[in-house]
Amino acid sequence: MSAVRSPETYLLRDMTPADIDDVAAIESRSYEFPWTSGIFRDCLRVGYCCRILCAGEQAIGYSIVSFGASEAHLLNLCIRPDFHGMGLGRYLLSHTLEQVKQTGVKTVFLEVRPSNEIALELYRSAGFVEIGHRRAYYRSARGREDALVLALELEI
């Protein structure tokens, strides 16, 4: 495990095209069916809110949010596996939600695998509630896995 750092040693900034290889590497280390570099490039190209979390010069996490019709969709939030258990997912989610609030958005949605218990606990502890599910949404080693749809009403 990496050394624990205080929050002030982390930098949260806008993602740039130069970050794509690092972000894709984190994604590949984190998921069995990762997003491709092309997907991350497309997110930047269409203007999604793409943020990267760094420890010094090293990318250790990222978040991607799309906006539309007074709502936001948290498309991806990930912390590099060797930085898990340090509260950085909560840190990144908190900052991401603060940025979303500043846009005046009222509701944030996301999908999460029911099998991803750590992410579910993080989102629920932040106030997200389950509002539905999508059948066979995710690829999995056994075919397809449903997604839980979660929502958070923001107080502006």
Query: Is residue 111 annotated as a catalytic residue, yes or no?
Result: yes
Q: Which of 111, 130, 137, 145 is catalytic?
A: 111
Q: Which of 10, 48, 123, 138 is catalytic?
A: 123
Q: What is the DSSP string of the chain?
A: -PPP--GGGEEEEE--GGGHHHHHHHHHHH-SSPPPHHHHHHHHHTT-EEEEEEETTEEEEEEEEEEETTEEEEEEEEE-GGGTTSSHHHHHHHHHHHHHHTTT--EEEEEE-TT-HHHHHHHHHTT-EEEEEEEEEEEETTEEEEEEEEEEEPP-
Query: Is residue 123 annotated as a catalytic residue, yes or no?
Result: yes
Catalytic residues: 111, 123
